Amino acid sequence: CNGTKKEVRVWCDGCYDMVHFGHANSLRQAKALGDKVIVGIHTDEEITKHKGPPVFTEEERVKMVKGIKWVDEVVLGAPYVTSLEVLDQNNCDFCVHGDDITMTAEGVDTYHLVKSANRYKEVKRTAGVSTTDLVGRMLLLTRNHFRQGSAEYDIEKEGSSNMGQDSAAKSPWTGCSQFLPTTQKIIQFSDGKSPQPGDKIGYAAGAFDLFHVGHLDFLEKARKLCDYLIVGLHTDPVVNSYKGSNYPIMNLHERVLSVLACKFVNEVVIGAPYCVTEELLDHFKIDIVCHGSTPIALEDGKIDPYSVPKMRTIFETIISGNDMTTERIVERIISHRLEY
Ligand code: CTP
Ligand code: C5P
């Protein structure tokens, strides 16, 4: 032994359709079991064969997984039943999957080969979040009774008394979430690093609801303009005030974890003010404020939330080059008429 320990390469595979923080949490746990995480992603064709067409294309799914900070490599075209060959081809020691049973269309355990070769480890599946659950929340948006009259505004007024007990509250934004947020989870997702002296500090604010490829492309470009990127997340009532209907689909805590899992993000402000203020800029020593090319809603219909950074000439518009939006995801789900 020359004293250099062999690198442990961990294999994870799956559909990674509508990537959410549950997927990220499984990859985080996988990373803790080794040195490198290699993620095998099934093709659209393979998924269609076993469980029907995915909502997102393989290009989009690959991009989303590559954006997760615990992922080192991504391989498209992983077989539905994990084989020893695919582990060997990618120099992986073992395979990691959440503690739920997954089957092929024929009812075969997709991990039976790696299990019998003792090259399988299990991590805890994140309770309270799944593609099925998110799709369910999106379909709720289409129900008319949620939009009738001024109901959403009435609920909004009640909203403040429900804050802090999101999982149980009967608010339109948070009432359906079954996920129990804890400080432990936030600590696990955070890298805990402060900016270094001399770092150029960037700031981007928004809803970042149903964290998607458009957000990812935007944040990648924003991060290129700075050394340390802080994302400000608006509260659920604020997002609801400018998106209307039943938005956001994910509550603030869920959005925090989704954004923290992104490799371009260093820090998150939980419940950022809608208007970027002098105090916020000075407090975080922000050098540059970014927004994409999507429209900017004015506060009370008249105040530009970026007037202060614009006055300081530190405001930058970023062209993400991606036209994905949270609303488009909802449209896709509805037009797919997916049966989950
Ligand atoms: N996973 C998890 N927690 C969740 C959802 C998924 O730990 N709430 C894990 C799965 O156990 C698996 C990996 O994420 O190891 C990717 O699997 P994938 O096939 O994409 O996930 P699904 O089980 O289909 O998840 P979902 O129903 O949310 O799409
Ligand atoms: O709409 P939301 O508040 O989630 O957007 C967060 C940030 O991401 C905004 O600056 C928005 O302009 C940007 N974005 C983008 N390209 C997309 C979607 C969002 O640049 N396709």
pLDDT of residue 173: 55
Distances (CA, A) of 225 to 58, 112, 228, 264: 28, 47, 9, 11
| Å from CA of 89 to ligand 1 middle | 23
| Ligand approaching nearest to the C-alpha of 323 | 2
Nearest CA to ligand 2 atom 5: 206
* Two domains, one topology: 9-123 and 181-325: yes
DSSP 8-state secondary structure symbol assigned to residue 6: P
Mean per-residue pLDDT over the chain, rounded: 89
218 within ligand 2 shell (Cβ under 6 A): yes
pTM: 0.90
Q: Residue with the nearest Cα to atom 18 of ligand 2?
A: 214
Domain positions in the chain are 9-123, 181-325
CATH fold of 9-123: Rossmann fold (3.40.50)
Is the distance from the beta carbon of residue 325 to the nearest atom of ligand 2 less than 6 Å?
Answer: yes
Q: What is the pLDDT of residue 140?
A: 78
pLDDT tens digits along 214-256: 999 999 999 999 999 999 999 999 999 999 888 999 999 999 9
Q: How confident is the model over 253-290, as pLDDT tens digits?
A: 999 999 999 999 999 999 999 999 999 999 999 999 99
Q: Is the CB of 37 under 6 A from ligand 1?
A: no
Cα(251)–Cα(162) distance, integer angstroms? 12
Residue 311: which residues within 8 A CB-CB, separation 6 or more?
Answer: none
What's the half-sphere exposure (Cβ side, CA atoms, 13 Å) at 13? 28
- The CATH fold assigned to 181-325 is Rossmann fold (3.40.50)
pLDDT (tens digit, 9 = 90+) per residue, 293-340? 999 999 988 999 999 999 999 999 999 999 999 999 999 988 876 554
